[in-house]
Amino acid sequence: MKKVIYPGMFDPVTNGHIDVIRRAIDLFDKVIVTVGKNPAKTGMFSVDERVEMLKTSLIEFPNVEVVAFDGLIVDYARKIGVVGIIRGLRAITDFEYEFQMALMNRKLADEIKTIFLMPHEKYTYLNSTIIRNLAMFGGEVDKFVPPIVQQKLKERFPEQYAARK
């Protein structure tokens, strides 16, 4: 069984993330989505909330598992026996950072491959920061995120969404 992990902050998960996961499902037997705990970042949503939103958004995919993880991703990848780490590339601006991370991961764990997947072009401009900013001003996010995320964002910013009605 070929397993891969798809690590990220997913704060919040977007349709672009879901698209990358769907592409990974087509290539591998199991995809383990790992929600990162980054002490250097304060998220809009807690790790538990992000895990729950991902689980709800991916319920139709029995070969996808969602877990929280803290530490080096290559250590976790070794521990659970995956063949690779999925990384999404939206635009050329993502490439430099992702390339550096892939090279470092290769130095740390040469046996674990980095697999770059591009989302559908309709998601290439989309990222979690844009979604958070849009939601803070009560903007419509329904075309960009799964329904559970839309609901959670409206709960997080009720006054902004009430003002737009």
Alpha-carbon Rg for the chain, nearest whole angstrom, is: 16
Cβ-based neighbours of 6, under 8 Å, separated by 6 or more: 20, 21, 24, 31, 32, 33, 34, 85, 86, 87, 88
Beta 3-8 vs 64-69: how paired, if at all? unpaired
Cβ contact 149:157 at 8 Å: no
Query: What residue type is 39 in one-letter code?
Result: P
User: Which positions are annotated as active-site residues?
Assistant: 17, 41, 90, 128
Spatial distance between the Cα atoms of 95 and 122, rounded to a whole number of angstroms: 18
Q: Where are the beta strands (DSSP E) in the chain?
A: 3-8, 30-36, 64-69, 84-88, 113-117
